[in-house]
């Protein structure tokens, strides 16, 4: 399962350094919708990470995709501080661990 990331330069490069190969730097709603449309049709993509500000620009589109696609790929919105919008810290820690980015806490 691959993880794709879309958002600002800092976010995409950060995940790229953690090993994610599928990413797009953009602040364009049109480019974001095109990339997500492509990724949801790719059976190898299991998770799409999108920056919250970019997600806000395509909210109706994301809602429609989530209703049509059901569970996969999972689309998660990342806040400006790196937190995942609407996700408990425990789930967030597990997702970050899965992609090789630890939260810095020992456990």
pLDDT value of position 106: 47
Higher pLDDT, 99 or 68: 68
Does residue 25 carry a pLDDT above 90? Answer: yes
pLDDT digits (tens, 9 = 90+) for 78-93: 876 555 555 555 556 6
Q: How many CB atoms are closer than 10 A to CB 47? A: 19
pLDDT value of position 107: 46
pTM here? Answer: 0.75
pLDDT value of position 97: 63
pLDDT value of position 34: 97
All structural domains of the chain, each given as residue ranges with its CATH number in brackets, are 2-98 (3.40.50.10580)
**pLDDT tier, 96 (very low <50, low <70, confident <90, very high otherwise):** low
């Amino acid at each position: 399962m691959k993880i794709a990331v879309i958002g600002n330069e800092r976010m995409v490069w950060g995940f790229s350094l953690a090993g994610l190969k599928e990413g797009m730097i953009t602040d364009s709603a049109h480019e974001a919708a095109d990339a997500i449309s492509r990724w949801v049709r790719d059976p190898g993509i299991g998770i799409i990470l999108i920056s919250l500000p970019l997600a806000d620009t395509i909210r109706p589109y994301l809602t429609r995709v989530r209703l049509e696609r059901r569970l996969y790929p999972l689309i998660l919105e990342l806040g400006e501080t790196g937190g995942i919008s609407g996700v408990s810290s425990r789930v967030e820690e597990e997702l970050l661990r899965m992609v090789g980015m630890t939260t810095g806490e020992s456990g």
